Amino acid sequence: MNDLSDILSIIKLSCKKISNIIQNSNPLKLSKLSNEYNLSGDNAKKLDLMANIILTTNLSKCKHIKTIGSEEEPELINTDFKTAPYMICFDPLDGSSNIDVNITTGTIFAVYKYGEDNNIVNGNNIVMAGYCLYGGSTQLIVATDVVNIYQLDTDFKIIIENWTIPNKGTFYSINESNKHIWLDNRNNKFINKLITQKYSARWVGSLVADGHRTLIKGGFFSYPSNDNNIDGKIRLLYEAYPFAYIFKVAGGFSLHEKENISLLDINYPVDCHQKTPIILSSKYEFTIFTN
Ligand code: FBP
């Protein structure tokens, strides 16, 4: 086993435990507010905290991991392994607003390798990223130099190897209730163009679900900046970077709407909970949006 397969084994063990909790608990109880607020100002739900405890407890014992970042932790956590080569950051339970209505939620993670100077420059330090989908089935999508898809039975078994995103889709995924306050005026014109090309809208409200549909079917996902979220809503370190990496490995694209560069090239954030606008896309829609 190499370092990354050791880390992946711990992620599988943790996601299996989270999946079992979701499968066997009353979602109305799991979605109860804990009245503990995370640094993003969210009142964490019980399942957010349970998932966070499982992941931080298991991963802090891994000798390959020096630092842990989590949406539910105020600061980065230093493990006992001070010379270990990797940092792992995760959103333990993405899509919390969907827990009570039994709609797909997930865990998102990225593993970063420290450079020679013991620094992380940007998303290009990622060596492995993925997400676990707690949906009709529990699936784990893992990107290293290829994208592989696992499905949970008694354990995670690989079902698809080397997944690549279709060149074009038929869905766009954006919360259109913000259309009157988007800061980038390309969005409305772009959506109208897709509608004339017979695209349909899909918005689940869980990044893992909307991102996964875009990865599997092709198409366009965006959470643009708006008057209420001038820096966007999605967190760079443990949501946007990981998905940008997965899309790049699968042959797709990501974009920061203000910088007009790949999200992976956005500098490592000063604040571990920094937010960002996000675009994830297959080639055809990306070409339309950027031209
Ligand atoms: P959390 O649920 O972990 O806070 O993640 C944020 C998120 O739920 C994303 O998963 C999703 O894409 C987005 O917010 C939905 O935002 P909105 O409710 O504004 O459409």
At residue 43, the pLDDT reads 74
69 closest CA partner among 96, 38, 101: 38
- Return the closest-CA partner of residue 234 out of 175, 149, 148: 175
pLDDT tens digits for range 108-125:
999 999 999 999 999 999
Q: State residue 214's pLDDT score.
A: 99
Give the model's pLDDT for residue 134. Answer: 98
- Name residues whose C-beta falls within 8 Å of residue 226's C-beta, 6 or more positions apart in sequence: 178, 181, 182, 183
| Ligand 1 touching residue 97 (CB < 6 A) | yes
Q: Which of 13, 39, 42, 100 is catalytic?
A: 42
Residues near 153 by Cβ (< 8 Å), separated by ≥ 6? none
Among residues 3, 72, 257, 285, the one annotated as catalytic is 72
* Residue 31 CB less than 6 A away from ligand 1: no
Q: 207 C-alpha vs ligand 1 centroid, how far in Å?
A: 6
Q: Which atom of ligand 1 is nearest to the CA of 205?
A: 15
Report the C-alpha gap between 63 and 200 in whole angstroms: 47
Please state the atom number of ligand 1 nearest to the C-alpha of residue 210.
12
- 221-263, pLDDT tens digit by residue? 999 999 999 999 999 999 999 999 999 999 999 999 999 999 9
Q: What is the DSSP letter of 178?
A: G
What is the C-alpha to C-alpha distance for residues 60 and 64, in angstroms, rounded to an integer? 9
> Which residue's alpha carbon is nearest to atom 2 within ligand 1?
95
**For ligand 1, mutation pick of 31, 70, 233 (most atoms within 8 Å of CB):** 233
Reported as a pLDDT band with limits 50, 70 and 90, residue 42 is: confident
Residue from 30, 55, 71, 73 carrying the catalytic annotation: 71
Q: Is 91 a catalytic residue?
A: yes
Q: Over the chain, what is the mean pLDDT?
A: 96
Beta strands in the chain (DSSP E): 33-37, 43-45, 65-70, 77-78, 86-94, 105-113, 126-134, 138-143, 147-152, 156-160, 171-173, 200-201, 220-223, 234-235, 253-255, 275-276, 278-281
Ligand 1 pocket member 229 (CB < 6 A): no
CA–CA distance, 250 with 143 (Å, rounded to integer) = 8
Q: Give the pTM.
A: 0.96
Rounded Cα distance, 255 and 137, in Å: 30
Q: Is the CB of 47 under 6 A from ligand 1?
A: no
**Alpha carbons 24 and 18: distance in angstroms, whole number:** 10
Residue 110, strand partner residues = 89, 129
Ligand 1 within 6 A of CB of 103:
no
Is 72 noted as a catalytic residue in this protein? yes
pLDDT value at residue 86: 98
Taking only the tens place, the pLDDT of each residue in 189-229 is 999 999 999 999 999 999 999 999 999 999 999 999 999 99
